[in-house]
Structure 1
């Protein structure tokens, strides 16, 4: 990868996952070819956005889709659409939301650093929780004529005190309030998107640059046709609150190609391959005296997606953060996750050939910092 070495940088072995900080995912040759071809001609961006949405919706078996500049941009666009619906004169006012429904409800346990995307649209988050958690009764009490939407974080759905999505959706739909799900890094499985829509989500926001393996700067809003249309009216290339969240023609075409590949991928075979890599990671590290290793599947919000198994390594003579830093600065450089006092080795972006390399790198890093 001389392009990075020319910049004085070293490529990483990615045992962390499809995280933004190390580049999301790698693009398939078909996606790169589509983007390269798209770069060779001009096109009407409004028409391209509309047609791309149709193709993505068909591939994922949803009513409608809107391409965005990543999942965080999708949250901003979905919030703006929920606040203004089909009123263009109101869209032009954002983020000045005076006089508009400007409250976004969130269960307190669902708050995270990404919900700041709501504020970009001009809304403010109102937390829902009582002494026993975020109950349906507390949700009813929080509703008002200022409520524009509820943002549900898919990664937090299993937290204690978090009522089922279907129950939350039923309460909101009694009042005509949309439920938006942030599922940016929640696939696989692919069927989760359809499941959340069937349970009552009105819109599901998904990253294009993670498990879908599209351009990292891409995302999509999936769901009800009328609400997706309102999102498309807010999103680039329209002027307004989302104008700076550009999705260029190359990104749009690349995302369509990636989604259509994603819809055809053999998830069972990929999951089996990941299980084999985790087994080899655990077996390769099991005899090292400087660490303890175990297979682990996430049970709470952390390093998503939760469906992918990982090898969790507890260094015995150093902090997990110190070992992760040593791995990042090693040769080869390896990126890993840190979860408390363990490092997390995620097979999502590894190849089988890289597994023994990662094993040796972890053994060296645990020994060198002891």
Structure 2
């Protein structure tokens, strides 16, 4: 970390981190290269007609990627939203300005292979689209006949193992005149761009991750007519995507980042990443009970899996994360790809001078001796029964219900709210209890973690931690991303929740 960067963040009271996790948006995405920063600063000094800049960028992205056309969007999620809007309304102002409302009562549907719902497909639903999953070719054809289908959406990194693949979908979609929109946000960009080269109509990429461009930028590539329609549906135009504002600086910075991406020696970069991980592995190898394994995930970035279940089985990922963040400089590990007793070290965001620092910190933490906190006896109060409480959200109170049964120190039951009900499990603690409930909403797993800090036979008080994740991003980061809300619960009559 540079002293200049540290100073900027510390002025705001924020201590930066050494990132051996990943380029997730939660951690600030990636660090831009000097040419990208220079391009952004240069673009900020002058005015330009955005229509001319949009055309110039479309042509340049076509040259760089082999796609017919391209545009820079407000992140890859913005690309999904504008791509979906283009498929629904094209560049027809009578339709564009009605989005997300339906036209003549039609109920728009996007088809996606079963198991390919992902955290960002809400961006597609912003255009007034319902997503319907299909498991095979037969279900796909039935759905085509049953629904007003406007597009097919695919999660690119899952296609190889999908029950219904891109290659199976393509001829049916072509015959039906349906555009195919692929989320390739975490994939490496090629020339030719792989999805449109295979026949997809639109493909979306993140600029702020592998490509090391502005964090707020994404790419939408593909058919010229659809990409241009997406441009008209987005800023600076007064249409559906105006809220997804992106400036001339991000647009020019994104082009510079793509140019740098294709100029980089990716083979040498991968060797450097592997070398960094080998340094960490070598430093930790003397700890015989640690399991160390090199692997590779999406994007071609190698990772070092560290599993401490054999040496410190009572130490959780959150315990290790807290210990590393308490150091100076702070070290960040990620829960993506890990487990309760393992983590994966990514070299992507590390600078060369930080590798030894990370290796030494991990060695010290694992060899310094650690004892799990001594757990006090659980509270003796019996919380079995029905409880009701309000969670005070920004738009008002939302009524929630817990139905609990205590079995020794364990708790089981249900959590109900807003028309949804889920199993809740947990245990009594010294002061109250900790419970978790997992609901499913539009393909996402929504977690409520209840921590009762005061507990009596008639009243409960504590907080609820909330978050959501797709199946491939489950972990403390996503499951806690929506913050905490306090609660005070009181007993109610059985079956009160039926009023929901």
**Shared fold per TM-score greater than 0.5:** yes
Distance 1:368 1:94 in 2: 59
Match of 1:294 in 2: 293
Distance 1:328 1:368 in 2: 17
Match of 2:433 in 1: none
1:95 matched to 2:96? The reply is no
Distance 1:322 1:98 in 2: 53
Match of 1:335 in 2: 332
Match of 2:78 in 1: 73
1:310 matched to 2:311? The reply is no
Shift of 1:322: 2.2
1:346 matched to 2:346? The reply is yes
Match of 2:362 in 1: 362
Q: 2:54 aligns with which of 46, 49, 55?
A: 49
Q: Where does 1:69-218 land on structure 2 (aligned, <5 Å)? A: 69-99=74-104, 100=106, 102-128=108-134, 134-144=135-145, 146-159=148-161, 161-187=162-188, 190-191=189-190, 194-218=193-217
Contact between 1:169 and 1:199, CA under 8 Å: does it hold in 2?
no
Richer in strand (by share): 2
Distance 1:330 1:279 in 2: 23
Contact between 1:18 and 1:210, CA under 8 Å: does it hold in 2?
yes
Shift of 1:253: 1.1
SS in 2 for 1:276: helix
Shift of 1:223: 0.9
Which moves more between the two structures, 53-62 or 214-223?
53-62
Contact between 2:113 and 2:165, CA under 8 Å: does it hold in 1?
no
Q: Where does 1:234-245 land on structure 2 (aligned, <5 Å)? A: 234-245=233-244
Shift of 1:292: 2.1
Contact between 2:66 and 2:192, CA under 8 Å: does it hold in 1?
no
Match of 2:279 in 1: 280
SS in 2 for 1:191: coil
Shift of 1:240: 2.0
Shift of 1:289: 4.8
Alignment deviations for residues 15-67 of structure 1 (CA, whole Å, 9 cap, x no partner)? 11211011111111111111111111111122212212221221122210011
**Which 5+ residue runs of structure 1 have no aligned equivalent?**
129-133, 299-304
Larger RCO, structures 1/2 (Cα 8 Å, 6+ apart)? 1
Distance 1:340 1:233 in 2: 44
Contact between 2:204 and 2:219, CA under 8 Å: does it hold in 1?
yes
SS in 2 for 1:105: strand
Distance 2:90 2:195 in 1: 22
Richer in helix (by share): 1
Shift of 1:306: 4.5
Shift of 1:101: 6.1
Larger radius of gyration: 2
Alignment deviations for residues 272-323 of structure 1 (CA, whole Å, 9 cap, x no partner)? 111212222222222225632211223xxxxxx3421100111232112321
Distance 1:266 1:20 in 2: 25
Contact between 1:64 and 1:223, CA under 8 Å: does it hold in 2?
yes
Contact between 1:218 and 1:247, CA under 8 Å: does it hold in 2?
yes
How well do the aligned residues superpose, as a CA RMSD in angstroms? 1.8
**Which 5+ residue runs of structure 2 have no aligned equivalent?**
1-5, 372-500
| TM-score normalised by the chain length of structure 1 | 0.91
Match of 1:18 in 2: 23
Change (3 A) 1:321 1:169: farther
Alignment deviations for residues 40-97 of structure 1 (CA, whole Å, 9 cap, x no partner)? 1111122212212221221122210011010001111011111112422111100112
Contact between 2:64 and 2:191, CA under 8 Å: does it hold in 1?
no
Number of matched pairs? 356
SS in 1 for 2:327: coil
Change (3 A) 1:325 1:143: farther
SS in 2 for 1:168: helix
Distance 1:150 1:369 in 2: 51
